[in-house]
Chain A
Amino acid sequence: MNILIVGVGGQGTLLASKVLGRYAVLCGKDCKLSEVHGMSQRGGSVVTHVRIGDKVHSPVIWAGAADVILAFEVLEAARMKHFLRPGGILLVNDVRILPMPCITGAAKYPAGLKEHMLEDINGAYFIPAGEIAEQAGSVRSANVVMIGAMCRLFGFDKAKMRQAVSDCVPEKFAEINLAAFDLGYNRVKK
């Protein structure tokens, strides 16, 4: 099981990968994660790899081998969608964050990215994770909304994934995050 988490530095992709790692431990599986620290975290593209299985070697997923891509931003989904295997699931937070070349006018944020991905990829889903997170009580739980939605789309064990969420967030935010998880879970249907 290969899950690629992509987004923009500062969006909370690391927490999402920690939850999935915890889920693997709760399921008694082998697991490897590969993270990005340092320079690219400063508002750049960030990619986290999560691999779960009976025995995992490479901590890094390769192009064409991801079962799920969890994308926290539309342009980042488009950038990394070639990592998806045929038949895989691309779950996208339907939000646009302009990269600096688009802010300065050196490049244009491409139009129609969402429409193209929905057309080309059977397993593409877009949800407004930020808005859903606000309903749960904090816009910062958008990452957990995404995990909830992914849990349903891919058919992960819901009880174990909820457990993993509450194991990975500070206790005082557990309630909000579990609410965010449930809202994300109920938002999608395969």
Chain B
Amino acid sequence: MKELMLTNHAVARGAYEAGARVLSAYPGTPSTEIAESFVKYDDVYAEWAPNEKVALEVAVGAAVAGARAMACMKHVGLNVAADPLFTAAYTGVNGGLVIVVADDPGMHSSQNEQDSRFYARSAHIMMLEPSDAQEAKDFTKLAFELSERYDTPVLLRLTTRVAHSRGLVELCDREDVKLRPYEKSVTKYTMMPASAILRHQVVEERDIELANMVNTLDVNRVERSRRGGKIGVVCSGVVYQYVKEALPDASIFKVGTVYPLPIKAIEKFASSVQQLYVIEELEPFIENQLKKAGIKCKGKEIFSLQGELSVLKILEKFNRNVPVPTPAKVPGRPPVMCAGCPHRGVFYVLSKLKLTVNGDIGCYTLGATPPLSAVDTVLCMGASIGMAHGFKKATKGVSRNVAVIGDSTFIHSGITGLINAVYNESGITLIILDNSTTGMTGHQDHPATGRNLKGEKAPAVLLDDLCRACGVKDISIVDAYDIAAVEDAVKKGLASPEVSVIIAQRPCVLLDKRVKPFMETDGCRNCGKCMQIGCPAISRTADGVKIDPDQCTGCGVCAKVCPFGAIKEGVRK
């Protein structure tokens, strides 16, 4: 029986069927659902780690101990995990180790468009790339097999259109994979110069062995066109699916192992077609390797380095006669903070005080959008604190800037930045927007929420205690909806020469499923002040401001900014 499955769920299913025992991950679109799905199977262990580096270290540990293990992350998460990644290539594994990395061409929910395939090449780790849900499950199982056979971690690369699409998947039973015995080996698992020098040789030998082996691996295959076309296309991942629809007369070399590439097999394919194209999203990763091997092909001279490809883009480039309809010019609908979002009032205050705001990654990145327009900088997870410190040092403490970070991001990689600010005495003001969840990725727990990935009770890191332990003396806890208290705390923090931390608390409004109060206007003078908070429940008409009772959650921030006291709580019928 086939089941319609999200590709991320199919990856989890593949890991389950392959007998994987341990999974560790940090949430990140488009990879989050793998861990959420895997944890629901019996006889497995899965967890949210505080960040991707820890997640990968946990998975390496489990693999060395003899279990099949997996770590999952988005593309930028692999930057965080790059340190263990490169050396895990040296140690190799014991039980199979699969690292899932989900890229986001087109940046549906990311801060950059980096191409993770380069990690495979520079760390010398094999990388498989499936093109739909069924392949994702099959490739995951294959990845575990290859990992053990060649004593190497294996990367599985997804992109948003693969990870977040659904397709029919044939389910199989779980393999009974025994825990392999762990044997101490300093030369294999203790990476210091003497042993690492030896392991580097092993890595190179393995690379050559894999580069030969992939030429006959059946996930790298030729599909001849029955229509007798003269062109050949090399592609992988979702692009393969686009090519199948756009160019039915082309012969296709479908690449399953993007690293190492089956160069010899592609060379043979190239000689069988008149013109060879490489169609790939983002960087010319495959193309450049083919060119280096002397295989003539066209790629990025036709296709962009940016964004996603599509059936239509391919049709256009090949001058196929298709009408390309033009979209209507209508106002955009950018994402917004939800009605009742506890971040709104904080950003209203920061905007009002005209501060420079070093922001971070999460729902609160939306504090950069109009009308709040409060956030100045967003770089990467945890960067708000380091950057705020840098602003202070550059301006000899004169800059009027604050760092703003969410609770999950603070745990992920904000703590080290805070320790630096205390140690190197920059006196920054840090606001932790504590909404008790990882919001943007869809409400995942983390070490400070008191729940684990299974939803069970777990020990909770107390953020104020943690900051105190980092050496912060000036810590205030405020209600995020109480904008007067927020303003007061921010002003005090700015005036203090020491590092100040303000923890603005309120659970994410979407977590609270109870019927909520709502606000209504009474005697509105239509001054428009409440429009400055950018609440989607509030709109302005010629007769004054209207608050949509269906969207409103009664947070009351609008009432607090109204200079005429014209917004009050209504009564639900």
> What residues make up the interface of A, taking CB atoms closer than 8 Å to B?
8-10, 21-22, 24-25, 30-45, 56-60, 62-65, 75-76, 78-83, 98-110, 113, 139
Contacts and interface: CB of A to CB of B under 8 A. Distances in A.
A4 B353 CA distance: 44
Contacts of A59: 132, 161-162, 165-167, 238, 241
A9 B335 contact: yes
B108 A40 contact: yes
Nearest to A73: B333
Interface residues of B, number: 58
Given A25-B168, A38-B441, A79 B327 contact: yes
A98 B539 contact: yes
A139 to B, nearest CB: 8
A5 B370 CA distance: 27
Nearest to B104: A38
Contacts of A108: 331
**Consensus secondary structure, chain B interface:** loop
B539 A58 contact: no
B315 to A, nearest CB: 8
B168 A58 contact: no
Interface in B328-369: 328, 330-338, 363, 365-366, 369
Nearest to B244: A57
B536 A78 contact: no
Contacts of A76: 333
Given A100-B369, A104-B371, A42 B363 contact: yes
B4 interface: yes
A33 B338 CA distance: 26
Interface string B1-40: 0111010000000000000000000000110110000000
B536 A82 contact: no
A99 B108 contact: no
Contacts, number: 175
A106 to B, nearest CB: 7
B571 interface: no
A43 B539 contact: no
B336 A100 contact: yes
Contacts of B194: none
A78 B328 contact: yes
A40 B335 contact: yes
A31 B108 CA distance: 23
Contact of B333 (A8, A21, A22, A60): A8
Interface in B145-175: 161-162, 164-168
The 3 closest A-B pairs by CB, nearest first: A38-B109, A38-B29, A59-B165
B32 A37 contact: yes
B334 to A, nearest CB: 6
Nearest to A85: B325
Nearest to A22: B4
A42 B336 contact: yes
Nearest to B366: A42
B440 A39 contact: yes
A37 B335 contact: no
Given A40-B109, A103-B534, A109 B161 contact: no
Given A43-B536, A99-B333, A103-B531, A82 B132 contact: no
A75 B167 contact: no
- Of A10, A37, A40, A139, most B-chain CB atoms within 10 Å: A37
A81 B325 CA distance: 9
25 contacts: A24-B4, A25-B4, A31-B166, A33-B165, A33-B166, A33-B167, A34-B165, A36-B108, A37-B441, A37-B442, A38-B30, A39-B29, A40-B109, A43-B335, A45-B333, A58-B238, A59-B161, A59-B166, A99-B332, A100-B333, A100-B336, A103-B539, A105-B540, A108-B331, A110-B331
Nearest to B363: A42
Nearest to B28: A38
B242 interface: yes
A131 B311 CA distance: 38
B336 A32 contact: no
B108 A39 contact: yes
A41 B336 CA distance: 9
A38 to B, nearest CB: 3
Interface string B284-320: 0000000000000000000000000011100000000
Interface in B207-250: 238, 241-242, 244-245
B398 interface: no
Contacts of B326: 82
A79 B324 contact: no
B336 A30 contact: no
Contact of A64 (B241, B324, B335): B324
B192 interface: no
Given A39-B109, A42-B338, A102-B331, A62 B312 contact: yes
Contact of A57 (B3, B245, B333, B531): B245
Contact of A104 (B3, B29, B241, B531): B531
Contacts of B330: 75, 78-79, 110, 113
Contacts of A75: 330-331, 333
Given A25-B2, A79-B327, A100-B333, 15 more contacts: A10-B338, A21-B166, A30-B168, A32-B132, A34-B166, A37-B164, A41-B442, A57-B241, A59-B241, A60-B161, A60-B242, A60-B310, A82-B327, A98-B536, A103-B534
B310 A42 contact: no
Contacts of A36: 108, 164
Contacts of A30: 168
A113 B329 CA distance: 11
B323 interface: yes
B322 interface: yes
Nearest to B337: A42
B261 interface: no
Contacts of B536: 43, 98, 100, 103
B538 interface: yes
Contacts of A109: 331
Contacts of A35: 6, 164-166
